[in-house]
Amino acid sequence: MSDLVERTRAFVREVVMPAEPGWGEALDDATLARLRAAARDAGVYAPHAPVAFGGLGLPIREWSPVFQEAGYSPIGAAALNCMAPDEGNMRLLELVASPEQQERWLAPLVAGETRSSFAMTEPHPGAGSDPDALATTARRVDAGWVIDGRKRFISGAEAADFAIVMARTDEVGGATMLLTPLDAPGVTIGPSIRTIEAAIGGGHPYVTFEGCFVPDADVLGEPGAAFRYAQVRLAPARLTHCMRWLGLARRAFDTALDRANSRELFGQRLRDLGVAQALLADSAIDLATSDAVIDKAVAAVDSGDTRAAATLSSIAKVHCSEAVFRVIDRAVQLCGGDGVSSGLPLIQYLNEVRPFRIYDGSSESHRWAIARRAASARERAVQAGEPRLDVVP
């Protein structure tokens, strides 16, 4: 695995970084295709995906250092085809889809021949931070299901070929995941929603389903089991976001260190001034603690302990989304005017990571869940015989 980390590190620095778009520009399809071909040649393409479909088959416990190296460039994960939402959808299809569905949907996704989206989030009062508020429905018809509803913030949908749709299915209870091409009858993409980040190609538009027919063969897993399957996808997807953005924060930190080592103020290098040292030290602490909490959450996911995985992935998501922003913001501050100019990409990095405190569940929603789980766990422990510690003698 260490060899793959080093090869990814070299590939991103030598091949990907020179191909990064300029200020305010997007990665074009031709450059993406060239980079993915080069990633295949370098043996770093699709590190997380199944070997049977062209990936490297890396187990999730070994993803973090590779994803961090990919994330050192804003386009690195796209070049390696381990960027959201495709990466999360690949894992879901690997674990839940039938062999026939894997051949139809997963194989071309890993190959980079198609793109995907995950259609869960809805306009208020539908599903967002609270998936139980799901309003989109799928009703049973002869040989399939018909989807009706409206989604929004569906990442990648403007460039995607298909979506995994979460819909409420009252006939069977709960919700169901359905696979559908986004050019199918009854599917409308748009209007677009403009956001401040650009790393995820295909935007975050509305997607409307009006009488969209999905055959039984394209139901993902069991009808009514979508909320259980969502956890298969969502906890690891939060963590891979953490990994990628931590890689970008490391690049911002390296930029700040280079500036601190070279810039002289008041007769000293910036690195020797106490106020700069405090900023650098706090960033080093944020990077190290983020790395550690990711590893602990990944271990829970890998163990199959769903309760611990849900809690620790929430903790990692909150901590990392806020820590990487702090690291990049400090780098901006240390670089002064250059930090907020087009001369350096740091201010663009802030735009990339700021939405992560909202996407995949806001920090506030996760804090609510973390606190609720902690209180419930302690209550169970006391009921099982642990002494209460708040009792005044």
Q: What is the pLDDT of residues 306-320, one digit of tens each?
A: 899 999 999 999 999
Measured between alpha carbons, how far is residue 213 from residues 42, 165, 182, 220, 292 in Å?
A: 42, 12, 12, 14, 45
Lowest mean pLDDT among 28-42, 59-73, 220-234: 220-234
Assigned CATH for 116-223: 2.40.110.10
Backbone torsion region of residue 266, taken as left when φ is above 0, otherwise alpha when ψ lies between -120 and 50, otherwise beta: left
349 neighbors 252 (Cβ within 8 angstroms): yes
Domains 116-223 and 227-383 share a fold: no
Peptide bond into 191 cis (omega under 30): yes
Which pLDDT value is given to residue 1?
Answer: 58
pLDDT for position 264:
86
Is residue 42 pLDDT above 90, yes or no? yes
Tell me what pLDDT residue 126 has. 83
| Distance from C-alpha of 222 to C-alpha of 96, rounded to nearest angstrom | 9
Give the architecture-level CATH label for domain 2-83: Orthogonal Bundle (1.10)
Mean pLDDT of 261-278: 91
Q: Residue by residue, what is the 3-state secondary structure of the chain?
A: CHHHHHHHHHHHHHHHHHHCCCCCCCCCHHHHHHHHHHHHHHCCCCCCCCHHHCCCCCCHHHHHHHHHHHHCCCCHHHHHCCCCCHHHHHHHHHHHCCHHHHHHHHHHHHHCCCCEEEECCCCCCCCCCCHHHCCCEEEEECCEEEEEEEECCCCCCCCCCEEEEEEECCCCCCEEEEEEECCCCCEEECCCCCCCCCCCCCCCCCEEEEEEEEEHHHEECCCCCHHHHHHHHHHHHHHHHHHHHHHHHHHHHHHHHHHHHHCEECCEEHHHCHHHHHHHHHHHHHHHHHHHHHHHHHHHHHHCCHHHHHHHHHHHHHHHHHHHHHHHHHHHHHCHHHHCCCCCCHHHHHHHHHHHHCCCCCHHHHHHHHHHHHHHHHHHHHHCCCCCCCCCC
Per-residue pLDDT tens digits for 118-135: 999 999 888 877 777 899
Q: What's the mean per-residue pLDDT of the chain?
A: 95
Arithmetic mean of pLDDT, 25-51: 96
Q: Quickly tell me which residue has 């538009």 as its tokens.
A: 205
Cα 232 from Cα 228, distance rounded (Å): 7
pTM: 0.94
Give the fold, CATH level 3, of 227-383. Butyryl-CoA Dehydrogenase, subunit A; domain 3 (1.20.140)
For residues 88 and 235, give the distance between their C-alpha atoms in angstroms, rounded to a whole number: 10
Domain ranges of the chain: 2-83, 116-223, 227-383
Q: What's the confidence (pLDDT) of residue 2?
A: 82
- pLDDT recorded at residue 267: 85
Q: Residue 168 and residue 140: Cα distance in Å, rounded?
A: 11
pLDDT tens readout for residues 320-374: 999 999 999 999 999 999 999 999 999 999 999 999 999 988 999 999 999 999 9
* Per-residue pLDDT at 108 exceeds 80: yes
Is 313:366 a contact under the CB 8 Å cutoff? no
**pLDDT per residue as tens digits for the range 164-198:** 999 999 999 999 999 999 999 999 999 999 998 88
Take residue 268 and report the two structure tokens written for it: 């000293």
The yes-or-no verdict on residue 289 having pLDDT over 80 is yes
